Structure 1
């Protein structure tokens, strides 16, 4: 039995794939402990994982309640600053665990890499979205203004990527100070030196969603979407089951589990639903964001596992987080994305290339446009067929045995 630590960083879409990894590793006899924001303690414990809470609930909530986090560019600054702020409590939690044989963490959990350098613990970097691979061959769409970027020659892209990047601007100074305090040689750059662990890199999305590029790490295993949403622990609520059984397939709307700035999203959604004449399910943990006095054809719920709910959906409208998007692909349902920041524009662009949905910017997400796109998505046999083909590919994905053996080969 190995002692394994999971160090996710971020919202539910970032944490749930690590819960999936934890389930599989425990099934193989390993002891698995998760260290992340205390907001996810119930989720982890329901899945059977040991849990170490990181910080206070208010700290994570204050970050996601900052409206700037959903602004293109500025949101990246806030995330990296919070990631740097989290290094010391993360490291203290890791060191409290005693003997550790392996860690799995995203690149933003900088304490994982620090613990590797300080204590020699093997580390697997887990990338959940292709947007983190800043390839000069197929460059991710991180900002709307970067649409022209892939038309540039490789030499010019390399020159651009040699400039200071957000991780180094907003996180590196603090990370360097913490490294020095712990007797560890600090990196000259987080992206160039700490982004991918020398021990292994695990990409949890399939090749048909993002093809591997020549400048991706050599020690990489690309697998498929984990599709964890705690459906085993939480069934659809009776009220929702009744609603789904009483009429036509609804359009499902969600702005993401971490989005508490979604009043405009739901206002547009409500008007588009009225104009379209369809039924709808609004999913948000902040029901105060939803307009009052909605008709009986619209139901609001605080949570529903998408792997179950989307089997009943006509269209899926969301923010474009990779975990949410992958659930839509698995369900074979056409999708409409309102991409705001982070990996969302790139995920939306990849969805459009698959022909399985449409991506809009925040400015484009208006009642008239959303109404038009909903009608197209509900009536296009071509888009629906493309969505069903994605679902078929996911069902034919690789066995979890392969990824578990690869992870175990990295054990100390």
Structure 2
């Protein structure tokens, strides 16, 4: 059995697929990866054949666009940059998987492009990894649309209306029109629901989070199952850089500020962070790949481009971040108090779940101020240690994935559902 893993996005999106590639290889399976070019060096480190979904220049251009982090424009911005290349995925899959026993494991965002090829084949099964609860649409509580919580008393008919309005706001009808144009050209039935196809277009939907973080909802697909947090860190055993080690030893445990591996518009974020540090007389580490958006830093602040969070978090007092699901999970595993500062995508929902669990706070980026951050830092959350202990005793998410994928691989093609509905 050949497994082809198809991913898209920043570090938090590709790391779970790297963890799965490593587990599949260790179990003796043949694995290939198709993804955005940032996955290439990590796949090479694992010895996994890699195929770029798009040129690095186009991927970098998408990340440079300010709209990519806008709550309303972000999805459509990614789609505009990526859709021309996503349409080439069928030809790549034909090259890699034709006449071979293959199981596909896909990022939900790429399921529509994957199925342009798969729906014209016979017996090719597929799974998708849903990295955060809000990647699956629901009408049930807790329900957030962007940063706004839908009141519990809103009836389902009103929630459906809000969802449809939200989908129009983020340009899903335009994306669906692009997809249906490609499907019509291939003689495939047209779709009426793009978000639904992310989950209904596969035979297995794996939630890469535990049930206590995101319980299954009645309107999630029947083929959904929880696998748990993957917690993959490349170079997790490597020592921290000597200069960083020296900084950590020079004083009290610092705060860690990171807006995410691909955020490139953080000057205001870091200016506010510096003001907080000045008022509290605290030290900090700024973890960000780009120095271009950093203000001049005092000696009490250390810049680092990348380091495995599992290595760094035991040495910090607070983790202030963008609300990405991978960073949330690492913070919970380390038992570190968190403040999520979300601006788009699943980040708002992830931050709200941290707050509900009592392991952190959530403050939307548009409301970020030194005054508000100082108020939250004065209120350490109460349940960090309990949740860290719960995560330490959790079963392996990769073993859960391997078991579920083995069952899917063994399933007869007669049980496959139609993907064009």
TM-score, structure 1 as length reference: 0.92
Equivalent position of 1:101 in the other structure: 102
The alpha-carbon distance between structure 1 residues 67 and 411, as it changes in their structure 2 partners (threshold 3 A), is same
- 2:343 corresponds, among 326, 329, 340, to 340
For 1:179, the equivalent position in structure 2 comes to 183
Alignment correspondent of 1:394: 391
Give the Cα separation in 1 of the matches to 2:113 and 2:94.
10
281, 300, 303: which one aligns with 2:306: 303
1:257 counterpart residue number: 261
Tell me by how many angstroms 1:387 deviates: 1.1
Which shows bigger deviation, 385-394 or 150-159? 150-159
Shift of 1:139: 5.0
Cα displacement (A) at 1:198: 4.2
SS in 2 for 1:171: helix
* 1:380 matched residue in structure 2: none
The 1:237/1:92 distance shift into structure 2, 3 A limit, reads farther
Shift of 1:115: 2.5
Match of 1:406 in 2: 404
Equivalent residue number for residue 276 of structure 1: 280
Answer with 398-407 or 247-256: which moved more: 398-407
The counterpart of 2:120, out of the listed 118, 121, 128, is 118
The structure-2 alpha-carbon separation of the partners of 1:100 and 1:114, relative to structure 1 and needing over 3 Å to count, comes to farther
Task: Name the CA shift for 1:7/1:248 in 2 (closer, same or farther; >3 Å).
Answer: same
**Unmatched 5+ stretches in structure 2:** 411-421
Query: Alpha carbon RMSD of aligned pairs, Å?
Result: 1.9
8 Å contact from structure 1 (residues 63, 78) kept in 2: yes
Name the CA shift for 1:160/1:374 in 2 (closer, same or farther; >3 Å).
closer
2:54 maps to which residue? 55
Question: Per-residue displacement from partner, 1:248-276 (whole Å, max 9, x unpaired)?
Answer: 11100100011011111111111111111
Is the 1:230–1:305 Cα contact (8 Å) retained in structure 2? yes
1:266 aligns with 2:264: no
For the Cα contact (< 8 Å) 1:87–1:175, is it kept in 2? no
Aligned residue number for residue 16 of structure 1: 15
Q: Sort the Cα spacing of 1:228 and 1:407 in 2 relative to 1 into closer, same or farther, 3 A.
A: same
CA distance in 2, matches of 1:83, 1:162: 24
Q: Tell me which residue corresponds to 1:238.
A: 242
Pairs within 5 Å for 1:161-240: 161=163, 165=168, 166=170, 168-232=172-236, 234-240=238-244
Structure 1 residues 398 and 115 mapped into 2: Cα distance closer, same or farther (>3 Å)? farther
**Counterparts of 2:364 and 2:36 in 1: how far apart (Å)?**
30
